[in-house]
Amino acid sequence: MKKIELDIVALSHSVTHSHNYAVVLGEQGGVRRLPIVIGGFEAQAIAVAMERMTPSRPLTHDLFKNTMDTLNIELQEVVINNLLDGIFYARLVCLKNGEQIEVDSRTSDALAMAVRFQCPIYTYEFILDAAGVILEEEDGEGDGEEEGEEKIGKKRKKRRGKKQEPVALSKYKVEDLEKMLTDVLDKEDYLKAAEIRDEINRRQG
């Protein structure tokens, strides 16, 4: 069965699933997107690796990678190999002493490992047919976002009532953002740190 390579194109808050996130995978050379709902811990683990942050203490996925490196086990690729009752399944394809080993994994954990090993991510046509969406337009504010999802770093929807809206990052000076970045890293809030770093890079780029 032919494999289709995917890239991580966005990490979003999930509006439809409270306290969860969605990682959006994009088909290489195509317009289809595969949104997968993941937990906050896994979203943080992916964000840390994508932003090349160094946690003060190793996260679980960092510990697993360090263990694999010590045992000379290479993660060759991640394959999202099935979709049953709305749940994605994945496998880690590893190589040790010339022998290929496949390990069953939650998809969110597999993606967190893939960004650490910088290995390819694959899926199959039947999964994209069943759960993929077509990105019709890539211009404007909706770049890379699926319907019902809100990209991290975008201004949040207005809350009802008289609760005060948080000040948008765009309103802060760069030096204030750098101080905020240090503070959130000390608190190990890596998702917020990714937001702030993106805003700093946008200003400097």
Candidates 17, 34, 12; CA nearest to 124 is: 34
Q: Taking a C-beta distance cutoff of 8 angstroms, is the pair 47, 12 a contact?
A: no
What are the backbone dihedrals phi and psi of residue 173, each rounded to the nearest 5 degrees, phi first?
A: -75, 160
Q: Which amino acid does the sequence have at 143?
A: D
Model pLDDT for residues 136-188, shown as the tens digit of each residue: 554 444 443 333 333 333 333 333 444 444 567 777 777 777 777 777 666 66
Please give the pLDDT value at position 175. Answer: 79
Q: What is the mean pLDDT of residues 11-15?
A: 71
Residue that has been written with the tokens 């690796």 in this structure: 49
pTM of the model: 0.68
Residues 70 and 116: their CA atoms lie apart, in Å, by: 15
Q: Are strands 121-124 and 149-151 parallel, antiparallel or unpaired?
A: unpaired
Q: Taking a C-beta distance cutoff of 8 angstroms, is the pair 169, 152 a contact?
A: no
Q: Taking a C-beta distance cutoff of 8 angstroms, is the pair 153, 198 a contact?
A: yes
Q: Give residue limits of the domains in the chain.
A: 3-151, 169-204
Residues 201 and 70: their CA atoms lie apart, in Å, by: 34
Superfamily of domain 3-151: Bifunctional nuclease domain (3.10.690.10)
Most confident range, picked from 7-16, 124-133, 143-152, 188-197: 124-133
Q: How confident is the model at residue 38 (pLDDT cuts 50, 70, 90)?
A: very high
